[in-house]
Amino acid sequence: MTAPKTVDAPYESPRIFGPEYRTASLGILLVVTLIAFEGMSVSTVMPAVSKDLDALDLYGVSFSAFLIAGLLANVVAGLWSDRRGHAWPFLLGVGLFTAGMAMAGAAGSKELFIVARVVQGLGGGAVIVAIYVMIARVYAPAARPRVFAALSAAWVLPALIGPGLTGLIAEAAGWRWVFYGIVPLVIPALVMLLPALRAGGDTPAPTPSAGPRSRPLAMTLAATATACGGGVLLYGASHLHDTPVPGGIAIVAGLAALAAGLPRLLPPRALRFGRGLPTTIMMRGVLASAFFGVNAFIPLLLTKVHGFSLAEAGVALTLGALGWTTGSYLQTRRSYDRPLLVRIGAAAITTGILMTLLALVPGVSGWVTVPAWVVAGFGMGIGMTSVNVTAMRQSPDAEQGANSAALQVVDTLGSAITIGFGGVLVNLIGHDDIATGYTTIVALMAFIGLFGIVVARRMRDIS
């Protein structure tokens, strides 16, 4: 949509719930809300799952398995969307995600639960990339900041009632019913989605890309190497204290696989934080790594150190979503300097992360994590949304799928590694000394946040 040429005909910014975009917007938001419920639920019930399945040693891996599986799906869905459109990756992703939820509820061992998380990750990874391509293909540039803000807002209801409700369900009926309860939500979501997917959902990119990231076999092999490398790296790190030699070999092998595969999935110069799109893509990973590397362990801190119930620990995470939504909404108010917003976001995330350490001060209530996570969430709201908007603006039409996948790759891989290594630290330091492990995690994630403040300025296009 472009501004009208007549002087006296005022330009009206496109409305994402107007007639032109209504069905697409509703379909997208319904599925994102479904995924949001899952994210809120798993973070809240993992202490109960780890206890019931004797899986505290796999606390971090349960999150990382979802993220690493999603990485592979990101790339495949990106290629598929660039070549054939985003409808089928979207539908297949929703189906896999739902199957994974049912498998998690039925899991009788920690190994089966990890497999279920992998299936969920494959589905969720495909869905998110398809959503990003839909936004780039269907919505006018002026509408995109509002769509991304709406995606953040789609987390509000799940974030407000999800963790607390999840805790209550887990305590009253058992954690398995948290996963089973999400499955029926797919039916109304798909009913709303079908018209939106038919409306241009199978339209491929206008001009097929001939770049190195358009080759299906090479990209699939690179994605496999990257996903396997991340998994092997985390496996080696988690077993380093029990079996140092095999663990060390696995770490080296994982790093080698990452070095072979990851650069092929990203724009040139991304790993060197080259100016413009390369740094924009990488900033998604920086922000996600710092935030989620702490977010996954806040319930563990509150339940183990402060004796919170699952429901109380869930409420602490719930209110942080208000900050995220507020940040996302504010970035839609006018045309901002996006790199500056990302720097502010990184600063807020770092501040919120450090504020959570107050929960370890003697005499200070664990509820101090609530304002801390509101601040960190605000940083994610303005930072992540600005990264997404900037990346779509900097992407050629025929590379929207590849760059959407790259955003998800650095997000999922960064989050998986930081969460996985956080779990390793908890195991190495000891389950009886959660405070020391948590402090170490916070120090590392705060360093990543500070790094983000410094490099975000390189998002600006080369003039």
pLDDT of 205 reads: 47
Confidence class for position 3, pLDDT limits 50, 70, 90: very low
User: Mind listing the pLDDT tens digit for each residue in 407-460?
Assistant: 988 987 888 788 888 888 877 776 677 888 889 999 999 999 999 999 999 998
**pLDDT higher than threshold 90 for residue 16:** no
The secondary structure of residue 185, as a DSSP letter, is: G
- What is the value of pTM for the model shown? 0.74
Mean of the pLDDT values across residues 318-336?
76
- Mean pLDDT is lowest, of 45-59, 199-213, 377-391, for 199-213
- Tokens 């920690």 label which residue? 110
Tell me the CA distances in angstroms from 145 to 246, 329, 332, 348, 386, one per residue in order. 47, 9, 6, 20, 8
**With the CA atoms of 435, 439, 440 and 441 taken in that order, what torsion angle do they form, in degrees rounded to the nearest 10?**
100
Query: In 3D, which of 2, 30, 27 has the Cα closest to residue 200?
Result: 27
The phi, psi pair for 414, rounded to 5°, reads -60, -45
CATH architecture of 22-197+212-459: Up-down Bundle (1.20)
